[in-house]
Structure 1
Amino acid sequence: MKQPSSILVSTVVILTFLVRYFLGDILGLFGASIPEFPYWPYTAISSYNLFWFAILGTVIYLMLRGNVLEHLGLFKGLGKGFLWAFIFTLPMAIGYALLGTFNTEYTLESFCQRALRAGIEEEIFYRGFLFGLLFRYGRWGFFPAAMVNAVVFSIGHLYQAHDPLSAAGVLGVTSLGACWFAWLYIEWDNNLWVPIFVHLLMNFFWAIFTIDNTAIGSTMGNVFRVATIALSIILTIRMAKKRGGLTITGRRWLKGPKEELVSAT
């Protein structure tokens, strides 16, 4: 099958994502609203996002054909993704367990809502679909594709801010996080399970252990998060060298991947 043009892929991906992101506003222009979806408290995916995953899968299949899960980086590597994500997040797990206190109010519903769904839904939407298709099939460079993903991802987390200064902090931290997750995705051979489980476990350890809300507590909490990021980068680079080198090098940072990375499967 002849691969669709990079312009077509880019246009379809961005328009689809914008419709999903602003669907409520779009319907509001016509006096309508998003219908109420059933609440599923103990599932990995909400009913609303399951509906959208079906749409994304259809769009990907019509545009690229082949294996939709492969295009999203979900077809293989689940066990490998969990193993490496667990190793990467050990600094947070150990550090928080030693310095923090166990959150006795943490429930299964909390885990599903704040860790499991955040890891699965956000990584599929932002990294697998938006960033991944732009980089792998739209022939975007890593930085352009990652920044589009980072801007939208960070804006979606502004609810965590309560003033301009904290908003700037949220934008900066989440943007860097989005680029880091995107980098892990590509460097682990297009395996989206790696950032999914890293995202999931970081959220889990952050919530299951409570670090004192003091200058020292907050500082140490961030130290362990930085240690997790540093460890993931170091080990990813070492493993990439054993496979023959990093995927994102030279022109791929700005001008896009080589031909073999964008061939449809």
Structure 2
Amino acid sequence: MNKTIRFFFLFIAGFSAYYFFDLFYFSSIQNFVKGISGSKAVAHVAAYSVTLIPLIITLKILFSQKTIVDLFSINQSIAKGFLIAFTGTVPMLIGYIIYFKLTKRIDFQSLFINTISSAFFEEIIFRAFLIGTLYRFTRLGFISSILFGSLLFAYIHLYQSSNPTELVEILMITFLGSAFFSWTYFETDFNLWTAIFLHFFMNLYWEIFNVSENVSGNIHGNIFKFLSVAVVIAIIVYTKRKNKAPYQITGKSLFIKTKPA
């Protein structure tokens, strides 16, 4: 079998196995672990960890010589990812302090699920596996690599909509958010921690200041979010220029690359 055909066959089969495993068993695993531990946070982590197994198996079949931490891009500098994300999201923090009030009653287990757990596992699944694997190990370019993964990422958030307008807003915001997280991941030398911490801080500030019931947000919520996006981009661009480092994403790598990254 042609290597490219074999790769895409196994990649699609592996993600399909994960998708249906997650679809049919995530809730069951979550409820089972919650019944034993009494913690919905622990149950959430356990369910995600178990449903990741098909993705891990797929990567080990495709790249037997590489480690999972390398394939999931979590072997890079945690401190660097944290610093970029924290500094970049300062506009959100300051803006929300000014315009919004802290949530009076915080459910810390729900906060953990919506910030730490969701940020970590969603970045592993979508940015590292579904998008990152395609960009790093095939000739697919940036847009070609992110298209399906970002649409799926947007799709899983559509449950938050209550009308057609919100649905379109959520679709656009989450799709663009996925593209942004992917860009930061690629342009920080495939450091997934950058995307994980960005996802974490953005969700954290959104939650603790009760900005909105869903990701479509409101004027002030989105203004400061977009300001943070601009600051993150500026930090990464400045760092690259200072270090004279080449960009991963250029006009020549948008659709098809001359070789894998």
TM-score w.r.t. length of structure 2: 0.87
Q: 1:36 aligns with which of 28, 41, 47?
A: 28
CA contact (8 A) 1:45 1:120 kept: no
Query: How far apart are 1:212 and its partner, in Å?
Result: 8.4
What amino acid sits opposite 1:5 in the alignment?
K
Unaligned runs of 5+ in 2: none
Query: Which amino acid in the other structure matches residue 47 of structure 1?
Result: A
Structure 1 gaps of 5+ residues are 28-32
1:110 aligns with 2:102: no
Contact 2:186 2:248 in 1 (8 A): yes
Which has the higher relative contact order, 1 or 2, with Cα contacts under 8 A spaced 6 or more apart?
A: 1
C-alpha contact 2:26 2:51 (8 A) present in aligned 1? no
Consecutive aligned runs of 4 or more in structure 1 exceeding 4 Å deviation? none
Give the C-alpha shift of residue 24 in structure 1: 6.7
Once the two structures are TM-superposed, the CA of residue 210 in structure 1 deviates from its matched residue by: 3.1
Q: Is the 8 A contact 1:6 1:137 kept in 2?
A: no
Residue aligning to 1:250: 251
Percent identity at matched positions? 28
Residue 52 of structure 2 corresponds to: 53
The structure with the largest helix share of the pair is 2
Measure the CA separation in 1 of the matches of 2:166 and 2:181: 22
Which residue in the other structure is 1:16 paired with? 14
- Give RMSD over aligned pairs: 2.3
Change (3 A) 1:74 1:19: same
Residue 94 of structure 2 corresponds to residue 94 of structure 1: yes
Which among 5, 13, 22 is matched to residue 7 of structure 1?
5
CA distance in 2, matches of 1:147, 1:126: 11
Indicate if the aligned counterparts of 1:101 and 1:210 stay in contact, CA closer than 8 A.
yes
Bigger mean CA deviation after superposition, 55-64 or 117-126: 55-64
Distance 1:44-1:145 versus aligned 2 partners, 3 A rule: farther
Does residue 69 (structure 1) correspond to residue 69 (structure 2)? The answer is yes
Quick one: distance in 2 between partners of 1:83 and 1:7? 40
Count of aligned residue pairs for this structure pair: 248
Q: CA deviation at 1:224?
A: 0.2
**TM-score, with length taken from structure 1:** 0.86
